[in-house]
Amino acid sequence: MSIFLIKTILSIVLLLITFVAMFTMFEALGRSEKRFNITKLIKIHRFNGRIFFLLYLIIAYFCIDFMVKTKTELSPRITFHAVFALTIIVLLFLKVSFVRIYKQFYGQVKTIGLLIALITFGMVGTSGGYYLIITHFGTEKTSYKVAELKEEISQKGIIVQTDTESIKKGKELYENKCSFCHNPYGTDTIVGPGHKDVLKNQTLPSSKKPATPDNIATQLKSPYKDMPSFSYLSEDDVQNIIAFLNTL
């Protein structure tokens, strides 16, 4: 199962927990005539809050680990997601401190609770929600812009550079950005397939598209399936990486 799908499932659980938190809060503090036993509601609310925190930490670990290992640039979407996530954790600490320590602020707790719930929707929407939509609920590859980009690339056509300067730059870029998931000198799979002979073979290892420089450029901009996008790379960087792949 892809790491994105796992994270998406975890974040859907996080949403469910958020609903439970809201429901227990409204039932405990919102009704004038209570339907349920308040101490029980509060117990559930607290337990639920702990699970929320735990799940939050697990998902955050996956996200940060992925970011560090792939050195992914922060897109506007990821930036929003991160701001939402950081806000939630600050609010959560404030809320707990108002309940336990700074009790004079207890009046604010309901508002903070609601804010946490709303921002959680924003946080999950900008990650799991987005992923589910572009993959048609996990069933399709994430190359939502393929058609557009193919056109753009086919108009230009990539010419493979063979000078040592390009190859050297390409090798450096490859070591920084790709070698975490790909073995350049073998065909074994680390996270993605090995790249030995990648441009000498007839077809690319995963998608089985023709092994052309253009298709590799497309793979970087709008990857087939689970590879992260490198659409932030400049044309020069892409050319250099392809120059290096051409030597393998």
Which residues sit at the interface with ligand HEC, rule CB under 6 A? 70, 177-178, 180-182, 191-193, 198, 204-207, 209, 216, 219-220, 224-228, 230, 241
Least distance from ligand HEC to the Cβ atom of residue 242, Å: 8
Least distance from ligand HEC to the Cβ atom of residue 150, Å: 13
Cβ proximity to ligand HEC: between 122 and 205 the closer is 205
Distances (CA, A) of 235 to 44, 73, 159, 182, 219: 54, 16, 11, 21, 13
Least distance from ligand HEC to the Cβ atom of residue 122, Å: 26
Least distance from ligand HEC to the Cβ atom of residue 30, Å: 45
Task: Identify the residue whose tokens are 């987005």.
Answer: 130
The span from the CA of 45 to the CA of 25, in Å, is: 7
Residue 110 and residue 29 in contact, taking contact as beta carbons nearer than 8 Å: yes
The span from the CA of 158 to the CA of 78, in Å, is: 30
As given in the structure block, the two tokens for residue 9 are 């499932």
Cβ proximity to ligand HEC: between 120 and 219 the closer is 219
For residues 160, 235, 209, 67, the Cα torsion angle rounded to the nearest 10 degrees is 130
Cβ proximity to ligand HEC: between 24 and 222 the closer is 222
Residue of minimal Cβ distance to ligand HEC: 192
As given in the structure block, the two tokens for residue 35 are 């339907």
Cβ proximity to ligand HEC: between 7 and 177 the closer is 177
Cβ proximity to ligand HEC: between 140 and 152 the closer is 140
Least distance from ligand HEC to the Cβ atom of residue 143, Å: 10
Residue 140 and residue 45 in contact, taking contact as beta carbons nearer than 8 Å: no
